[in-house]
């Protein structure tokens, strides 16, 4: 669940402070919890059916249950569909967590509709893992669309790796008075003032280096992992930021942590600051971004949009599957909803107007919560015309305003043909 290494870097810092007798009682309590998080991550998925290699990146029990519940609600909303049609096609990004998500979702759906035939063999990186395509691993061949998506992916990866303008905005936030207050509020209760004053100087810098081992409760499985050193604490701000990263993943590890979380270590105002900073990062890295670079984050998602329309057009054929289910990542769903220009995605901002909660409605919690999803429902109206409705995170959503000519009055239903012509002229 956590970015691999963040927990180890924080642990190394807390252990160093303890060795230097600079850790408060509250700091000792946090150390114990961080070690518990680390152990839970090392063993994540052990004993869970379908998980071949336990460890970082697997679904938590809450994640599994969310996918199962999502499948139940999908069935409840569409019982007549699953009564009429008996085949479901499933595609994934090919990454382990997406595959595991699909297995849990499909198993739950099959419990609701036992007669469904599930086709689960498709891995489609061009539509579901487009942010990391490479010529070596994802050859486009003579496919013109794939060639375009591969080029768009390479352009995005260059932007992601060296986004100087976004880094400048984030650095300014990190050096702000609000950042200093948030950092102090998080760290002051954990360390002595002398240690905190030296944090980030020589001898007080920490990384995610080191080997750690965890043994399952039944003693039958041992997990060992070596930190890669990529996560670095070179300042007090870095330390507070990594503790925030642990804070936001703890609720999704409720079962693994036996109900513990980092709420006692994260003041409300400090959490609000770091949430806005993370939203700023995601707004530029995956979302609407800069007005001067429109399309850089969304162009790779165009194959997915085309596939959605293709499946929608085929959906009313007598022999078509009941649904195509796709399983991917935040790096897929954020650019896709941005490309769709749904109302909650907001718009790109001018280079001289840095993202903030005051000038944009974009929020990561609204666009890409855990188990985020986009669903298109296809109908025939009384005139036998195909009609489409979209749900975003299970709530009806409008398509982009420019496509209102395809809309049925003030409803969230649209003529499919007109909508396609609007998005794919």
Residue 126 has what pLDDT?
A: 98
Q: What is the pLDDT of residues 204-233, one digit of tens each?
A: 999 999 999 999 999 999 999 888 889 999
Residue 120 has what pLDDT?
A: 82
Residue 4 has what pLDDT?
A: 61
Is the per-residue pLDDT at 318 higher than 90? Answer: no
CB burial of residue 26 (10 Å; 0-12, 13-18, 19+): middle
Residue 1 has what pLDDT?
A: 40
Average pLDDT of 152-166?
97
pLDDT band, very low/low/confident/very high, at 408 (cuts 50, 70, 90): very high
Structural tokens at position 216 = 């399952």
Ramachandran category for residue 10: left, alpha or beta (phi over 0 → left; psi -120 to 50 → alpha):
alpha
Q: What is the pLDDT of residues 266-313, one digit of tens each?
A: 999 999 999 999 999 999 999 999 999 999 999 999 999 999 999 999
CA distance 239 to 132: 29
Residue 53 has what pLDDT?
A: 82
String of b and e for 403-414 (b: at least 16 CB within 10 Å)? beebbeeeeebb
Residue 225 has what pLDDT?
A: 87
Residue 2 has what pLDDT?
A: 46
> Domain-by-domain residue ranges, the chain?
1-58+163-285, 59-161+287-425
Q: Mean pLDDT score of the chain, rounded to an integer? A: 95
Q: What is the pLDDT of residues 11-33, one digit of tens each?
A: 999 999 999 999 999 999 999 99
Residue 239 has what pLDDT?
A: 98
Average pLDDT of 190-210?
96
Q: What is the pLDDT of residues 337-383, one digit of tens each?
A: 999 999 999 999 999 999 999 999 999 999 999 999 999 999 998 89
Closest CA to 37 of 16, 17, 14: 14
pTM of the predicted protein model: 0.94
- Residue pair 252/60 in contact (Cβ under 8 Å)? The answer is yes
Residue 351's Cα: distance from chain center in Å?
A: 25
Q: What is the pLDDT of residues 105-136, one digit of tens each?
A: 999 999 999 999 999 879 999 999 999 999 99
CA distance 50 to 55: 13
Output helix, strand, coil percentages for the chain, rounded to the nearest 5. 50, 15, 35
Who contacts 126 (Cβ-Cβ below 8 Å, separation ≥6)? Answer: 133, 138, 146, 149, 150, 303
Closest CA to 5 of 212, 267, 251, 304: 212
Considering the chain, what percentage of its residues have pLDDT values greater than 90? 90
Residue 3 has what pLDDT?
A: 52
Ramachandran category for residue 95: left, alpha or beta (phi over 0 → left; psi -120 to 50 → alpha):
beta
Is the per-residue pLDDT at 254 higher than 60? Answer: yes
Residue 51 has what pLDDT?
A: 79
Q: Which CATH architecture has domain 59-161+287-425?
A: 3-Layer(aba) Sandwich (3.40)
Q: What is the pLDDT of residues 256-265, one digit of tens each?
A: 999 999 999 9
Residue 345's Cα: distance from chain center in Å?
A: 15
Considering the chain, what percentage of its residues have pLDDT values greater than 70? 99
């Amino acid at each position: 669940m956590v970015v691999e290494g963040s927990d180890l870097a924080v642990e190394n810092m807390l252990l160093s402070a303890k060795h230097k007798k600079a850790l408060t009682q509250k700091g000792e309590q946090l150390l114990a919890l961080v070690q518990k998080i680390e152990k839970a991550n090392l063993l994540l998925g052990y004993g869970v059916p379908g998980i071949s290699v336990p460890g970082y990146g697997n679904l938590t029990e809450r994640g599994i249950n969310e996918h199962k519940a999502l499948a139940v609600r999908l069935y409840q909303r569409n019982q007549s569909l699953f009564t009429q049609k008996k085949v479901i096609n499933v595609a994934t990004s090919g990454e382990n967590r997406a595959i595991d998500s699909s297995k849990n979702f499909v198993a739950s759906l099959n419990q609701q509709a036992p007669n469904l035939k599930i086709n689960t063999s498709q891995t489609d990186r061009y539509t579901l893992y487009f942010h990391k395509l490479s010529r070596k691993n994802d050859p486009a061949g003579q496919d013109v669309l794939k060639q375009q998506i591969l080029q768009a992916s390479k352009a995005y990866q260059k932007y992601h790796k060296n986004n100087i303008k976004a880094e400048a905005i984030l650095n300014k936030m990190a050096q702000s008075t609000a950042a200093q207050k948030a950092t102090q509020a998080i760290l002051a209760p954990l360390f002595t003032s002398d240690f905190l004053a030296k944090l980030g100087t020589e001898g007080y810098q920490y990384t995610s280096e080191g080997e750690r081992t965890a043994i399952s409760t039944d003693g039958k499985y041992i997990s060992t992992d070596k930190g890669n050193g990529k996560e670095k604490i070179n300042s007090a701000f870095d330390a507070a930021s990594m503790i925030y990263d642990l804070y936001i993943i703890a609720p999704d590890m409720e079962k693994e942590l036996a109900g513990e979380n980092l709420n006692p270590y994260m003041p409300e105002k400090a959490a609000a600051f770091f949430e806005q900073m993370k939203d700023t990062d995601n707004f530029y890295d995956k979302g609407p971004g800069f007005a001067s670079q429109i399309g850089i984050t969304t162009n790779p998602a165009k194959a997915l949009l085309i596939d959605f329309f293709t499946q929608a057009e085929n959906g009313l054929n007598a022999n078509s599957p009941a649904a195509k289910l796709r399983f991917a990542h935040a790096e897929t769903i954020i650019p896709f909803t941005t490309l769709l220009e749904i109302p909650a995605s907001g718009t790109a901002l001018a280079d001289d107007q840095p993202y903030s909660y005051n000038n944009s409605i974009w929020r990561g919690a609204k666009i890409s919560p855990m188990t985020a999803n986009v669903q298109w429902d296809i109908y025939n109206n009384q005139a036998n015309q195909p009609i489409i409705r979209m749900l975003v995170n299970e709530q009806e959503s409008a398509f982009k305003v420019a496509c209102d000519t395809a809309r049925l009055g003030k409803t969230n239903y649209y003529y499919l043909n007109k909508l396609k012509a609007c998005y794919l002229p």
